[in-house]
Structure 1
Amino acid sequence: MQQLTLFRLTLPIFLDAFFHIVLGNVDTLMLSHYSEQAVAAVGISSQVFAMFIFILEFMAMGSGILIAQMLGAGHRDRASHIANSSVYLNSLIGSVLIFVLFSRRLSCSSCSIFRQRRTSSAFITHKL
């Protein structure tokens, strides 16, 4: 069995976090030439989606830890049960989050930053 260093084990996690940050920055940079409202809208929606992704990722990480513990203890049946439960629970939580997102129809027009006059760009620039 090959011994893996801590760096090789954590590299995918760091790359995932890095690319999430880069994606948000690229979206902001591309829309900065269009309008300040578009930048604000993308920023708000990116935060909402990042929150949903982090919720599901934390569930998956916790399940992975439990599965590894059960496999290490030699309980393959318990590990299989935890894996199946994790998939069902993540699917249920994901479905609830999608339902909440679409039922609330989160739009940037309902955010408090856009309740101000759209012509007051100084407000948007200094509040962000």
Structure 2
Amino acid sequence: MIVQKKTVAGAGLFALSWPIFIENALQMSMSFIDTLMLSYVSDDAVSAVGVASQAIMLAILLISSVTMGSNVVITNYLGAKQKIHASKASANSLSISLIIGIVLGLLFFLFTDEYLDFFSLTNQTQLHAENYLMIVGGLILFYALNVSAGAILRSHGYTKASMYCTLGISILNIVGNYLFIFGAFGFPKWDVEGVAIATAGSRFIGFLVMFVIILKTAIAPRKLKEYIHLKALYIRKMLYIGIPSTAEQLFFHLSQIVIMGMV
């Protein structure tokens, strides 16, 4: 009996976890795919995206502190059979992610030059990196909303739905990269700028699909006031759990940026 129960529990855990593993791998591979496809353009383009991606990854870690905390908070409410609190916490998670995404986007717009000056890049590389950061970094709110919606779906057990949406985002990104890098089917050849547009655009489309699923399954409120009315209780819990869980990765990544700047 005990062995059978452990087997069933293990099977259930695997069924929930393997889509999350694939989704995380797809999310992390987007910058790699951008760099790989840009290698057909020039070394300057590859260098530019490599440097810009360091700042993007730093922003992603900051956003992850909220999404990770919201995942735990929502799951706890669901486990306590408090579905109303879970629904309102889901709405607050999207709202706070939107606010953080807007703030980070403004920082990218205002301080892109200061960040890139730290790396002493050549003129052409700096121009490519600046354009990439202005587009992908400036529209980082699409990523913030995307991962927040994914966290809501996963916390409610819709791990496969979140995985399939992320898979669709990756496919859209690859197709967009191909169209804009090589000018296929009459599309303009925008190189780095085109890759940035494809990345930001695919994330926005992915969020729209996830949000529709969230509303269809009624795991988050449909009333706009629930998204506008932020409750300190939910946000405090999310940040209390999320910030310590990502602080180690954040400091490690900062050290890598400093090392890259020195090199």
Q: TM-score, normalised by structure 1?
A: 0.69
1:7 is aligned to: 14
Partner Cα separation in structure 1 for residue 81 and residue 21 of structure 2 = 30
Partner of 2:88 in structure 1?
Answer: 81
Per-residue deviation, 1:38: 1.5
Q: Does 1:37 find its partner at 2:49?
A: no
Higher relative contact order (CA 8 A, sep 6+): 2
In 2, the alpha carbon distance for the partners of 1:98 and 1:25 equals 22
* Whole-angstrom CA distance in 1 between matches of 2:71 and 2:65: 10
Identify, as 1 or 2, the structure richer in helix: 2
Matched, 1:56 2:81: no
**Where does the alignment leave 5 or more consecutive residues of structure 1 unmatched?**
119-126
Q: Percent identity?
A: 31
Structure of higher CA gyration radius: 1
Cα distance, 1:72–1:37 mapped onto 2, change above 3 Å? same
Q: Which residue identity does 2:37 align to in structure 1?
A: M
* Structure 2 CA distance for partners of 1:109 and 1:77, relative to 1, 3 Å: closer
Aligned-residue Cα RMSD (Å) equals 3.0
Q: Deviations over 1:9-39 (max 9, x none)?
A: 2223322332234333332233334332211
Aligned: 1:92 with 2:99: yes
Instruction: Tell me the amino acid that sits aligned with residue 19 of structure 2.
Output: P
2:235 maps to none
Shift of 1:82: 1.9
- Cα–Cα, structure 1 residues 93 and 21, in superposed 2: closer, same or farther, change >3 Å? closer
Which secondary structure state, in structure 1, belongs to the residue aligned with residue 27 of structure 2? helix
SS at match of 2:81: coil
Alignment-derived partner of residue 65 in structure 1: 72
Q: Is the 8 A contact 1:67 1:82 kept in 2?
A: yes
Give the counterpart letter for 2:69 in structure 1: G
* 1:96 shift after superposition: 0.5
Cα pair 1:67 1:83 within 8 Å, conserved: yes
State the distance in 2 between where 1:20 and 1:5 align: 24
- Indicate conservation of the 8 Å contact 1:109/1:115, yes or no: no
- What is the Cα deviation at residue 108 of structure 1? 8.0
- Distance in 1 between residues matched to 2:89 and 2:48, nearest whole Å: 39
After superposition, where does 1:12-23 map in structure 2 within 5 Å?
12-23=19-30
Secondary structure of 1:34's counterpart equals coil
Higher mean Cα deviation, 34-43 or 16-25?
16-25
Deviations 1:46-104 (A, max 9, x none): 23223323332331232121112112212233323322322221111111111111122
Q: Which segments of 5 or more consecutive residues in structure 2 lack a partner in the other structure?
A: 1-7, 126-262
Letter in 1 for 2:32: N
Residue 40 (structure 1) shift: 1.2
Measure the CA separation in 2 of the matches of 1:107 and 1:16: 33
